[in-house]
């Protein structure tokens, strides 16, 4: 998952690389957008993903859940978790490692808690089911805390947190993932990117934190590798556990660094946050956890990922939550920027800007390689290609 950039990190530097523009400087996927790219209308991306998934045997309802999540990721600028991941979901259904004929179920529950078994359905199917249970409980008793086992990759964590905030609730979402992160002082990937998300409603506004507990998401390092460019310091280590700027050794034999980078710069804090997520998701739910989770892109073993979904009704606490939330957000946004910076942002602002740009240009802009992936997949599965609007 991508991390929120504080104001001093959001300066955008344009660089020309391989005849396309990469917006660099802010460690967010939203920075990789270029209006020079061709674009695809949101509805057509949704249609394309649904048709691809149905073609390989997914039920139309489940395909819609997945497509809505992936489109939301790209629309918000989290390109590593949108259309870029479609081939993974297709393979999981094709190989039978993810079920296409089951539904999630509640194993046990109290008035405020529930344990859900995803029954190996697509991650967004388990995620939607679990967050809806949490929302219902929060409306009834003030809080809903739901953990799920037997799930799969569920897209961006923020998607589920925002489902709660749309209904005036605070939403939180966490998931463990394949072991990709190397703990501080270690050499072996043992924990996942283990994202954290909090969405809080405000007056005609919202705060949406959606961040990995690693300095960078795996998808961002993969994108750098495809483009043949180095990764910044603190993103990854090689097989010896040493910080590395070449993405290939990080992907092939190394691992990701915890949020904060090295121990000297506070990486042990990111390591601790990853453990927190693992406790909420893997340990609490009884799913696989830590190094026991299947390797990334392994399509021969059931994932059994653990996830956690929380909804909180602010009305159960002090009145005026949304007013105070708006005041805090606006206080931060109105701070004087540091020299050379544009303006101070809060979590969710870069995504809002990206969505506004998509609306302005009439679709989601995609890198040429991603467009070609869509064309190739359409031919392979025998579905209609996406309607690509050429950049004029």
Q: What is the pLDDT of residue 300?
A: 85
130 within 8 A of 157, measured Cβ to Cβ? no
C-alpha of 83 from chain center: 12
233 within 8 A of 260, measured Cβ to Cβ? no
> 């073993």: which residue's tokens?
301
Question: Average pLDDT for residues 198-218, to the nearest whole number?
Answer: 95
Rg (CA), the chain: 20
Q: CA-to-CA distance for 224 and 227, rounded, in angstroms?
A: 5
Residues above pLDDT 70, as percent of the chain: 91
Count structural domains, the chain: 1
Instruction: Enumerate residues 6+ apart whose C-beta is below 8 A from 285.
Output: 115, 147, 148, 149, 306, 307, 308
Q: CA-to-CA distance for 292 and 32, rounded, in angstroms?
A: 33
Please check the confidence at residue 44 and state whether its pLDDT lies above 90.
yes
Instruction: Enumerate residues 6+ apart whose C-beta is below 8 A from 344.
Output: 7, 332, 333, 334, 335, 337
Q: Examine residue 180 and state whether it is found in any structural domain, yes or no.
A: yes
Q: Examine residue 208 and state whether it is found in any structural domain, yes or no.
A: yes
Comparing 17-31, 62-76, 185-199, 280-294, which segment has the lowest mean pLDDT?
A: 17-31
pLDDT band at residue 57 using 50, 70 and 90 as cut-offs: very high
Question: Average pLDDT for residues 360-369, to the nearest whole number?
Answer: 94
User: Three-state DSSP class for 308?
Assistant: strand
Give the predicted TM-score (pTM) of the model. Answer: 0.89
Residue 66, H or E segment: helix 60-76
Q: Examine residue 387 and state whether it is found in any structural domain, yes or no.
A: no
Q: What is the pLDDT of residue 2?
A: 38
Please check the confidence at residue 33 and state whether its pLDDT lies above 60.
no
pLDDT band at residue 52 using 50, 70 and 90 as cut-offs: very high
Q: pLDDT tens digit string along 104-121?
A: 999 999 999 999 999 999
pLDDT band at residue 17 using 50, 70 and 90 as cut-offs: very low
Please check the confidence at residue 21 and state whether its pLDDT lies above 70.
no
Q: pLDDT tens digit string along 107-161?
A: 999 999 999 999 999 999 999 999 999 999 999 999 999 999 999 999 999 999 9
Token pair in block for residue 87: 């081939």
Q: What is the pLDDT of residue 222?
A: 86
Give the C-alpha distances (Å, rounded to integers) separating 66 from 70, 95, 126, 313, 318. Answer: 6, 18, 10, 27, 36
Q: Examine residue 342 and state whether it is found in any structural domain, yes or no.
A: yes
Please check the confidence at residue 392 and state whether its pLDDT lies above 90.
no
Q: What is the pLDDT of residue 296?
A: 81
For the domain that residue 31 is a member of, what is the CATH number?
Answer: 3.30.1370.60
User: Three-state DSSP class for 108?
Assistant: strand
Q: What is the pLDDT of residue 12?
A: 31
Q: pLDDT tens digit string along 288-345?
A: 999 999 988 787 899 999 999 999 999 999 999 999 999 999 999 999 999 999 999 9
Q: Examine residue 391 and state whether it is found in any structural domain, yes or no.
A: no
Please check the confidence at residue 218 and state whether its pLDDT lies above 80.
yes
40 within 8 A of 364, measured Cβ to Cβ? yes
Q: What is the pLDDT of residue 29?
A: 43
Q: Which residue has the higher pLDDT, 7 or 308?
A: 308
Q: What is the pLDDT of residue 24?
A: 33
Containing structural domain, residue 13: 7-381
Please check the confidence at residue 226 and state whether its pLDDT lies above 70.
yes
pLDDT band at residue 34 using 50, 70 and 90 as cut-offs: low
Q: Examine residue 140 and state whether it is found in any structural domain, yes or no.
A: yes
pLDDT band at residue 223 using 50, 70 and 90 as cut-offs: confident
Task: Name the residue among 303, 307, 287 with its Cα closest to residue 295.
Answer: 303
């Amino acid at each position: 998952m991508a991390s929120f950039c504080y104001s001093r990190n959001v300066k955008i530097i344009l660089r020309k690389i391989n005849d396309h523009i990469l917006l660099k400087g802010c460690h967010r996927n939203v920075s990789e957008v270029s209006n020079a790219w061709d674009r695809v209308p949101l509805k057509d991306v949704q249609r394309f993903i649904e048709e691809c998934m149905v073609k390989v045997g997914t039920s139309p309802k489940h395909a819609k859940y997945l497509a809505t999540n992936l489109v939301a990721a790209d629309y918000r600028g989290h390109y590593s978790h949108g259309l870029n991941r479609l081939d993974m979901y297709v393979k999981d259904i094709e190989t039978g490692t993810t079920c296409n004929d089951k539904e999630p179920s509640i194993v046990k529950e109290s008035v405020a808690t529930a344990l859900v078994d995803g029954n190996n359905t697509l991650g967004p199917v388990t995620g939607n089911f679990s967050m809806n249970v949490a929302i219902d409980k929060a409306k009834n008793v003030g809080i809903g805390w739901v953990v799920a086992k037997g799930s799969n990759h569920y897209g961006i964590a923020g998607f589920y947190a925002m489902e709660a905030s749309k209904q005036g609730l605070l939403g939180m979402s966490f998931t463990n993932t394949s072991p990709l992160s190397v703990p501080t002082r270690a050499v072996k990937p043992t924990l996942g990117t283990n994202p954290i998300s909090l969405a809080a409603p405000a007056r005609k506004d919202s705060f949406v934190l959606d961040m990995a507990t690693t300095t960078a998401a795996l998808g961002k390092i993969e994108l750098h590798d495809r483009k043949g460019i180095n990764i910044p310091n603190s993103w990854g280590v090689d097989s010896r556990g040493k910080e590395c700027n070449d993405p290939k050794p990080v992907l092939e034999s190394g691992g990701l660094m915890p949020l904060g980078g090295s121990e000297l710069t506070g990486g042990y804090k990111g390591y601790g946050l990853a453990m927190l997520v693992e406790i909420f998701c893997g340990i609490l739910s009884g799913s696989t956890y830590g190094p026991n989770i299947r390797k990334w892109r392994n399509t021969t073993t059931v994932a059994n990922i653990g996830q956690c979904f929380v909804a909180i009704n602010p009305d159960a606490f002090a009145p005026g939550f949304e007013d105070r939330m708006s005041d805090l957000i606006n206080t931060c946004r109105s701070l004087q920027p540091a020299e050379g910076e544009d303006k101070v942002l809060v979590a969710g602002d870069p995504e809002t800007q990206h969505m506004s740009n998509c609306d302005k240009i009439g679709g989601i802009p995609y890198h040429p390689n991603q467009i070609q992936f869509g064309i190739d997949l359409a031919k392979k599965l025998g579905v209609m290609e996406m309607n690509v609007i050429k950049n004029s």
